[in-house]
């Protein structure tokens, strides 16, 4: 089980801030493919992955990052801090 978190407009498109996902995805990209197939809201949120950033266990990661042992994956738009 992996906790999947969404922030900013990704959270709004999907409609929930987090969900627990039963998955055997090997990489972030595999997880994205599974999530996008969940329904139209997920498909819309993941339509353009170039517009998304990802963190695995609270560290920024790439879409090719492995998920072995990961507990938390977050998807969000480019950050606008400062």
Partner 1 sequence: MAVRVQAGPFDPGAELSAFTRAVGGAGAVVSFTGLVRDADGALMALEIEHYPGMTERAIAAMVDGARARWSLTAALVVHRHGRLAPAEPIMMVATAARHRAEAFRAADFLMDWLKSRAPFWKREITAGGATWVEARAADEDALRRWD
d(CA 8, CA 44): 14
- Smallest separation (angstroms) from partner 1 to the CB of 31: 18
What SS3 state is found at 39? coil
Residue 14 neighbours by CB distance under 10 Å: 21
Helices (H), 1-82: 8-14, 28-36, 40-45
**Judged by CB under 8 A, which of 58, 62, 66, 71 binds partner 1?**
58
- Smallest separation (angstroms) from partner 1 to the CB of 28: 15
**Judged by CB under 8 A, which of 21, 29, 36, 55 binds partner 1?**
55
Sites of contact with partner 1 (CB under 8 A): 5, 7-9, 55, 58-60, 74, 76-82
């Amino acid at each position: 089980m992996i906790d999947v978190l969404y922030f900013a407009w990704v959270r709004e498109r999907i409609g929930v801030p987090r969900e627990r996902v039963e998955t055997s995805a090997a990489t972030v990209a595999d997880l994205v493919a599974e999530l996008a197939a969940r329904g139209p809201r997920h498909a819309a949120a993941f339509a353009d992955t170039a517009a998304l950033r990802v963190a695995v266990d609270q560290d920024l990661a790439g879409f090719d990052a492995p998920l072995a042992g990961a507990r938390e994956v977050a998807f969000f738009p480019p950050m606008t801090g400062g």
